[in-house]
Amino acid sequence: MAGFSSFAPWDEPGKKPLIEIKSVSKFFGAFEAIHDLSVNIYEREFFAILGPSGCGKTTLMRMLAGFETPTSGQILLDGQNIGPVPPAKRPVNMMFQSYALFPHLTVEKNIAFGLKREGVAAGEISDRITDIMKLVQLTDFGRRKPHQLSGGQRQRVALARALVKRPRLLLLDEPLGALDKKLRQQTQFELMNIQETLGTTFVIVTHDQEEAMTVSSRIAVMNNGEIAQVAPPTDLYEQPSSRFVADFIGEVNIIEGRCAPAARDGISLAWNEGSDDLRIASDATSQIGTTAWLALRPEKVGITKTRPEGTDNAVQGEVIDIAYLGNITTYHVELPTGAIIKAQESNLQRVANRGITWEDTVWVHWSADAGVLLTA
């Protein structure tokens, strides 16, 4: 989904959001878990809340579910303030991290639980259960108890139980955390398909950035109770707004320096006396004279033994570590300043004489538009 479709309601002027979080703060005693947070979530979005543990992402989700109330600020659903509405009365359902399946009930009864509470007629309940069990591929498991299911099957029951209520908003709290890696990746795509089939708005909380990048239309990166950046995955990766975001999403090289006017277009960054200034394609001329940081993804940095011709930036250093991961190799190169630059190469051939080894003196190089100039 990420950047490959034209689905972008957040860019449409005048589009009404499904959820409006308006300057919400949440205190637990003296501890401020959420600080003056505002964000809009649109219908049919697959919205990810990503952040390190303790950043407030779970608190934000629990406020959407109704298990916590904001200390100040408002949460609107379809323009209605849902602050005073208890969890049972919200058109919002949640899939719990522990799945929270009722151990004394069969799969069918677990899924029927919410519909019975709602007072749906028996015939309709069984129709809707049949449909949802087909959707999550659990058709033959209706009479089993939760302890007779595998982790992946339990996850599907939890999903079905929340979805069968046809909520306006489905919350997923670390939904795939308990699954192993292969199953997790497969389930991510299933989640996306289900979300697209039903058109329900999903909000997922996760600390796994790959998961967030894979499934979501937009990601909110949280830190210390605030949103550091909200953007589609591609923008988040290529246009991070701060060093925190750049560092949290994927790997990054950060080079600190002072902005100076460039000889040609863009900006130069004076980073080390005796070295050439770095050329950066940026129109942030207002930053000239201030301290800034160049964020550079390792896969956009090349590595050669001789000084490359015709490249915008080339810096000499010494190879101190090589991490061979099969598909890629990461070289850790120490610069004269003592900083480490990571350069990644894809291993396109099975057998290749790469010719670079430990303690070699090498050149790392990148183009002017490979990195992003950050001011925070």
| Rounded least distance, CB 364 to other proteins, Å | 49
Q: Which is nearer to other proteins, 132 or 374 (CB)?
A: 132
* Interaction pattern, residues 14-53, with other proteins; x per rule: CB under 8 A: ----------------------------------------
Q: Rounded to an integer, what distance in angstroms lies between the CA atom of residue 267 and that of residue 175?
A: 44
| Rounded least distance, CB 178 to other proteins, Å | 13
| Rounded least distance, CB 85 to other proteins, Å | 12
Question: Do residues 254 and 293 touch, judged by C-beta distance below 8 A?
Answer: yes
Q: Which is nearer to other proteins, 114 or 232 (CB)?
A: 114
Interacting positions 149-208 with other proteins (CB under 8 A):
161-162, 165
Question: Do residues 151 and 124 touch, judged by C-beta distance below 8 A?
Answer: no
Is residue 131 helix, strand or coil? helix
Contact between 96 and other proteins (CB under 8 A)?
yes
| Rounded least distance, CB 118 to other proteins, Å | 6
> Which secondary structure element, helix H or strand E, spans residue 244, and what is its range?
helix 243-248
Interacting positions 101-130 with other proteins (CB under 8 A):
102-104, 113-114, 117-118
Contact between 144 and other proteins (CB under 8 A)?
no
Of the candidates 139, 136, 114, 138, the residue with the CA atom closest to the CA atom of residue 125: 114
Of the candidates 159, 146, 147, 219, the residue with the CA atom closest to the CA atom of residue 187: 159
Is residue 129 helix, strand or coil? helix
Q: Which is nearer to other proteins, 67 or 324 (CB)?
A: 67
Q: How many residues bind other proteins (CB under 8 A)?
A: 26
| Rounded least distance, CB 90 to other proteins, Å | 8
Spatial neighbors of 301 by CB under 8 A, at least 6 apart, are 253, 341, 342, 343, 344, 364, 365, 366, 370
Q: Which is nearer to other proteins, 99 or 363 (CB)?
A: 99
